Amino acid sequence: MTGEKSVSEHHWTDRLESEPLGPPSPSEIARMRAELEAEGAVFGGVVTPEFIARVYQYHRSSAREEMTTDAIELARHGVHLVPSDLVPDDQLAERLWEVIHALARLRIYLEFTDHLDDRSLYRALVEDVLKRPRPLEPEDAESSTHIQMTGEGDEGYDLYLKHYANEAERAELAAMGFCVPMMRALVADRDRLLPRAWST
C-alpha cells in the first residue's frame, strides 16, 4: 500500500512505535480500518482493534521503506543504461554483456534468456526489468537475486514450457491432463555462459 501520510497518520504511527499513550480510541481504529479497506485490505470475520492497529502500522512502515531500482544501483556503480534504440548493432553484444556482468557484481543473475535475441533481451532489461521498483537493501555477500526472463505467472510458465521444459516435464504434465504447448526453438545460446551465483 502506498500514498502520502497525513499529519494524523504520522501521529498515530509515532504512537504505535513508542506506545506511551495507551491504546487507540475507537474512532482512530475505525479510521485505520477504513483507510486499509480503501487501499484493498479485506478483514474476514471478527478482528480486534489491536489487530487492525498492527496491520495499519505494518503497512505504513512498509510505505516508508526506501525504494530503488536495479538501474539506479548500476548507475551508482558506474554503469549507465543506454536506450536500446541508441545502441548500434555492432556494439549491442558488448553493451549487453557489460550489463550482465555488472548485474552479477551486484549479485543479480539472469536466467532463461535464450528465447530472446540480444536486442530483445537488452531492450527488456533497460526498458522494463531493471526499472522495476524494489526495496533498497544492504549489500549482502551471502544473498543473491535471480531474474527469470520468462517472466512470472501463467504467461511466464507458458514461455518456460515452450522453450525450456524437458521431455520428462512435458510428458508428466500431459499425463496429468494439462495442455502442453508445442516446443519452440531457442534463438540464442547464451544461458550456459551467464554468470552464476556460485562462480562469482
pLDDT tens for the chain, 200 residues: list them: 444 333 333 333 334 444 444 578 888 888 888 888 887 777 766 778 888 888 877 777 665 567 889 999 999 999 999 999 999 999 999 999 999 999 999 999 999 999 999 999 999 999 999 999 888 776 666 678 999 999 988 899 999 999 999 999 999 999 999 899 999 999 999 999 999 987 54
Work out whether strand 108-111 and strand 145-148 pair parallel, antiparallel, or are unpaired: parallel
Same domain membership, residue 189 and residue 124 = yes
Same domain for 46 and 73? no
Which pLDDT score is estimated for 116?
98
Does residue 1 fall inside a structural domain?
no
Domain boundary among 21, 37, 63: 63
Q: Which domain holds residue 42?
A: 7-63
Domain membership of residue 2 (yes or no) is no
Same domain, 101 and 32: no
| pTM of this prediction exceeds 0.75 | no
- Select from 1, 136, 162 the least CA-distant residue to 70: 136
CA distance 96 to 190: 11
Query: What pLDDT shows up at residue 168?
Result: 94
Identify the pLDDT of residue 36: 83
Count of structural domains, the chain: 2
Q: How far is CA 91 from CA 81, 84, 109, 177, in A?
A: 13, 11, 22, 46
Residue 137 has a pLDDT of: 74
In this structure, the answer to whether residues 59 and 76 fall within a common structural domain is no
pLDDT at 40: 75
One domain for residues 23 and 98: no
For 166-188, letters b (16+ CB in 10 Å) and e give: eeeebeeeeeeeeebeeeeebee
